[in-house]
C-alpha cells in the first residue's frame, strides 16, 4: 500500500490528458473561464491559445465593444502592450465583429477600422457617427462577406462606391442611411446577393443599375419608387420588401406580384 501511495503521488494528473483532449475541454469555456484556466498550468496556457480552438462568434464583438466603452482600443491593438496580449490574440482571429452593445453615440474612426483584423467576414457598424472617410479603410477587407452600416446617417454615395473593391461581399445593409440616393448603384460589387436600402431616397431610374445577381432587396419606406422602377428590377430577384412605399398602390403591387410569380413580395399600404 505504501508503494502504491508513493507511485500515485508522483503522477502529475494534469499531464495525463492529451493535448487534443484538453483542447476539446477548453472549447466548452467562455473567454473569462479560458483565461482562468490558462493561469492554472503552463501547458494549459499554451493550449488556450491554440489556433484550432473554436471561439464563440460573439467573442470578437465583446472584446471590441468593451475596448471602445473603456477608451482602451489603442491599448488593445498595441503589440507592445503585454496586458492586452491574450485579448489581442483572440480579437485578431475574429470572423464576426459588431457594435451591438456599444453606446449609441460612439464614434468609429478610420484608425479604428484600420486596426480591425483582416480575417473578419461579418461586420456590423450600426452607429450614426461614421463618416465617408471612416468607411474607406473597409475597402481593404477582402474577406468581408456581410456588412451592415444601418443608421449611419452621415454616409453618402461616396462611401458605398469605395466598397466596390470587396470581391466577396454578399450582403450590404444601408438601412436608414438617409443620404444614400441610388447614385452608388452602378458601382456596387457584382457579388452582392442581399441589399437593404430601406428609408433611403431611391429613384426609379437608378434601379436598373442594381447588380444582376441580386436575390433579396429591401426598399421599405423608399418614397421615390413607383411601379415603373419595379419593372426594371433584376430578373434574379427572389425577395422584395416594399413596406409603406407610398407611391405604389396595393393594386399596383398586386399586379406586379402576378407579373413576377417567382418573386416573394412583402408590402403593406393600407393604414385605414
Q: Indicate whether 6 pLDDT > 60.
A: no
Domain boundary assignment for the chain: 1-54
Q: Which pLDDT belongs to residue 24? A: 79
pLDDT higher than threshold 70 for residue 147: yes
pLDDT tens string 225-249: 999 999 999 999 999 999 988 899 8
Lowest average pLDDT, out of 6-15, 103-112, 209-218, goes to: 6-15
For residue 3, the model assigns a pLDDT of: 47
Provide the pLDDT for residue 173: 97
Measured CA to CA, the distance from residue 74 to residue 76 in angstroms comes to 5
Identify the DSSP state of 34.
H
pLDDT at 271 over 80: no
Distance set, CA 265 to CA 174, 218, 220, 255, 261 (Å): 20, 10, 11, 11, 9
Pairwise CA distance, residues 105 & 128, whole Å: 7
Amino acid at each position: 500500500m505504501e508503494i502504491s501511495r508513493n507511485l500515485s503521488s508522483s503522477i502529475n494528473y494534469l499531464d495525463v490528458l492529451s493535448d487534443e483532449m484538453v483542447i476539446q475541454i477548453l472549447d466548452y469555456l467562455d473567454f473569462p473561464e479560458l483565461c482562468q484556466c490558462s493561469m492554472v498550468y503552463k501547458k494549459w496556457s499554451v493550449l488556450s491559445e491554440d489556433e484550432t480552438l473554436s471561439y464563440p462568434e460573439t467573442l470578437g464583438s465583446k472584446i471590441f465593444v468593451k475596448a471602445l466603452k473603456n477608451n482602451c482600443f489603442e491599448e488593445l491593438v498595441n503589440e507592445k502592450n503585454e496586458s492586452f496580449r491574450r485579448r489581442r490574440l483572440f480579437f485578431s482571429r475574429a470572423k464576426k465583429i459588431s457594435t451591438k452593445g456599444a453606446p449609441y453615440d460612439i464614434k468609429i474612426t478610420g484608425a479604428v477600422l484600420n486596426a480591425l483584423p483582416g480575417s473578419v467576414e461579418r461586420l456590423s457598424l450600426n452607429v450614426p457617427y461614421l463618416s465617408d472617410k471612416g468607411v474607406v479603410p473597409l475597402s481593404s477587407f477582402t474577406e468581408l462577406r456581410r456588412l451592415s452600416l444601418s443608421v449611419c446617417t452621415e454616409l453618402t454615395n461616396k462611401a458605398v462606391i469605395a466598397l466596390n473593391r470587396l470581391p466577396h461581399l454578399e450582403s450590404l445593409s444601408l438601412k436608414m442611411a438617409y443620404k444614400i440616393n441610388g447614385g452608388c448603384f452602378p458601382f456596387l460589387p457584382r457579388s452582392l446577393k442581399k441589399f437593404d436600402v430601406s428609408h433611403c431616397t431611391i429613384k426609379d431610374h437608378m434601379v436598373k443599375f442594381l447588380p444582376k445577381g441580386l436575390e433579396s432587396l429591401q426598399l421599405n419606406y423608399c418614397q421615390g419608387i413607383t411601379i415603373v422602377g419595379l419593372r426594371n428590377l433584376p430578373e434574379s430577384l427572389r425577395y422584395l420588401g416594399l413596406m409603406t412605399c407610398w407611391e405604389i398602390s396595393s393594386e399596383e403591387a398586386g399586379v406586379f406580384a402576378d407579373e413576377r410569380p417567382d418573386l416573394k413580395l412583402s408590402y403593406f399600404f393600407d393604414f385605414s
